[in-house]
Structure 1
Amino acid sequence: MATLYLIRHGQASFGADDYDKLSELGCRQASAMGRYLALHGIHLDAAYSGNLLRQRETAQLALASQAQTVPHHVDPRFNEVNNDEQLEHLVPELVASNDRLRALMDKGLRESKDYQKVIEAVFNYWVSPACQHPDIQSWEDYSTGVRSAVRDLIAEQGAGKTVAVFTSGGTIATIVAQVLGLGGEHTYKFYEPIFNCSVTQLFYSGDKVSLSYFNDRSFLQMMGRESDENLVSYR
């Protein structure tokens, strides 16, 4: 039996000119993650991430606490869902028939909660058969890429390994839905609640993959109490 940890990146810089980097809190979350793994004797044989900066930064900060150097493989199939692309191309289609979404767009997406409401509408449209936009990556292509990335990782690492994938909420939600045999219409249910730097644990043996636990952030709560700070965040 081998263990695969799916770790969401630390808090990114929402509202900044460059979203794709960790905030100060995100850096502390990633470092806390690394300390937690080391303190609990979790020794990684390998690590993977997408090529997004916030994913790679989280990996680097977490892996710094490992006793030995951990090989870090970068695979863009572990990148996040391309929300910017979807907002650009799909929102104009949706606002024509969705007054609530139009009002949010008119208000502007300066608040994280408003941005998330729009992402929910866009994501659920994107995964539906009704979405056939030619200028964006399709759900089928994206989800197939995620599935093949996990399959290739398992084949590369083999039995008895402990591996971490530093990735993003949409990717973790997609993997969990696939492990549970659920389609795209159920995936957003796992996407929205994922905390920054939370851990989802999978076990695999051969081609069989099973879910052990999902979206655990208890270590952030514990370590935050020890340092008298709040390390828990959604966005």
Structure 2
Amino acid sequence: MATLYLIRHGQASFGADDYDKLSDLGCRQATAMGRYLADHGIHLDAAYSGDLLRQRETAQLALASQPGEVPYHIDPRFNEVRNDEQVEHLVPELVKSNVRLKALMDRGLSESKDYQKVIEAVFNHWVSPDCQHPGIQSWADYSSGVRDAIAELMREQGAGKTVAVFTSGGTIATAVAQVLGLGGEHTYRFYEPIFNCSVTQLFYSGDKVSLSYFNDRSFLQMMGLAEGENLVTYR
């Protein structure tokens, strides 16, 4: 039996010119998560991430607490869902029949909660058979990429290993839905509640995978309480 940890990146820089980097809080979350792994004897045999900066920064900060050097691999199939691409190409069509979505877009997306509502509408359309837009990555291509990346990781690492993937909410949600045998129409319900730097644990043996736990952030709550800081965020 081998263990695979799916770890969401720390808080990114929402509202900044460059979203794809950790905020100061995101850096502290990633460092705290790395300390938690090391302090609890979770010594990684290998680590992976997508090639997004926020994923790589989270990996680097977390791996700094490991007792030895951890082989680290970058695989863009662990990148996040292309939300900006989807908003650009799908929203103009969706607002024609979705009054609430149009109101959100007219108001602007300066608040993260409004942006999340737009992502929900766009994501659920994207995974549906009705979405056939040629200008964006398809759900079939994205979800099969996540499935293939995890399958290759399991084959390469083999039995008895402890591996971490530093990735994003959409990727974790997609992987969890796949492990549970659920389709795209069920994936968003795993996407929205994922906390920054939360940990989802999978067990695998051969090509069989099972879910142990999902979206744990209790260590951030405890460490933040000890340090007098709230380390728990969604966005």
State TM-score, norm by structure 1: 1.00
Query: 1:205 is matched with which residue?
Result: 205
For residues 26-60 of structure 1, the C-alpha deviation after alignment (integer angstroms, 9 at most, x for no partner) is 00000000000010010000000000000000000
Separation in structure 1 between the aligned mates of residue 155 and residue 206 of structure 2, nearest angstrom: 8
Residue 104 (structure 2) aligns with: 104
Query: Following superposition, which runs of at least 4 residues in structure 1 exceed 6 angstroms of deviation?
Result: none
CA deviations 1:52-110 (Å, max 9, x no partner) are 00000000000000000001100000000000100000000100000000000000000
> Which deviations, in whole Å up to 9, do the C-alpha atoms of 1:140-183 show, x marking residues without a partner?
00000000000000001000000000000000000000000000
| Superposed CA offset, 1:176-218 (max 9, x none) | 0000000000000000000000000000000100000000000
Percent of matched pairs sharing the same residue: 86
- Partner AA of 2:123 in structure 1: F
Counterpart residue identity of residue 117, structure 1: K
Corresponding residue of 1:64 = 64
Q: Who is 1:217 aligned against?
A: 217
Question: Aligned with 2:234: secondary structure?
Answer: coil
**1:175 has 2:166 as partner:** no
Aligned to 1:134, the other structure's residue is in SS state: coil
Q: What is the distance in 2 between the residues matched to 1:38 and 1:127?
A: 38
CA RMSD in angstroms comes to 0.3
Q: How far, CA to CA, are the matches of 1:94 and 1:162 in structure 2?
A: 43
**Partner in structure 1 of residue 45 of structure 2:** 45
* Residue in 1 that maps onto 2:86: 86
Matched, 1:16 2:46: no
Q: Which amino acid aligns with 1:53?
A: L
Equivalent position amino acid for 2:173 in 1: A
* Structure 1 residue aligned with 2:192: 192
Q: Does 1:164 align with 2:164?
A: yes
TM-score, with structure 2 as normaliser:
1.00
Are 1:145 and 2:141 matched, yes or no?
no
Distance 1:187 1:97 in 2: 23
Q: Count matched residues.
A: 235
Q: Deviations over 1:120-139 (max 9, x none)?
A: 00000000000000000000
Corresponding residue SS for 2:128: coil
Q: Secondary structure at the match of 2:60?
A: helix
> Do structure 1's residue 131 and structure 2's residue 152 form an aligned pair?
no
Map of 2:122 onto structure 1: 122
Q: Counterparts of 2:156 and 2:93 in 1: how far apart (Å)?
A: 42
Name the SS for the 1:36 alignment partner: helix
Letter in 1 for 2:102: R
* Structure 2 match to 1:55: 55
Structure 1 residue identity aligned to 2:44: L
Structure 2 CA distance for aligned equivalents of residues 140 and 16 of structure 1: 31
Partner of 1:226: 226
